Amino acid sequence: MSPNLIPPDRDRLGRADRPLTIRADGVEVAGVHGQTLATVLLAAGRTHWRTARNGGGRGVFCGIGVCFDCVATVNGVPDVRLCRRPARDGDTVTSQSRAGGSER
């Protein structure tokens, strides 16, 4: 999966993307309507947003909603699969961690 967006002026299909902004761990990230939250983060160069029990970073693995590797807290709701959740303007994403035996 490419982390790069096609700038509107170079899009051969002439799509007029509608921009949106989410906040991920306190940082504003730009995306476009139609992207999932995972693709907004990947396009911004973020490859993981969850820490597993062994301390390893987790992000998108299957990309189709099966593995739950991509979960994060969205607008205060924990364990949301970012690969399945369409991005909406103003969404807030917070990383989760189970490192060291913690629940989140």
Q: Which residues bind ligand FES (CB under 6 A)?
A: 60-63, 65-70, 81, 83
- Among the listed residues 38, 40, 42, the one whose alpha carbon sits nearest the alpha carbon of residue 30: 40
29 vs 59 by CB, closer to ligand FES: 59
Continuous H helices in 28-103? 37-43
Q: How far is the CB of 58 from ligand FES (least distance, A)?
A: 9
* Number of alpha carbons in the 13 Å side-chain half-sphere of residue 20: 20
Closest approach, Cβ 96 to ligand FES, in A, equals 13
Shorter beta-carbon distance to ligand FES: residue 84 or 104: 84
Gap between the Cα atoms of 5 and 24, Å rounded: 18
- Cβ proximity to ligand FES: between 43 and 70 the closer is 70
Long-range pairs, 67-72, Cβ under 8 A, ≥24: 70/38, 71/96, 72/37, 72/96
Q: Using the minimum distance from each CB to ligand FES, give the nearer residue, 29 or 36.
A: 36
| Shortest separation between residue 84's beta carbon and ligand FES, angstroms | 6
Least distance between ligand FES and beta carbon 36 (Å): 9
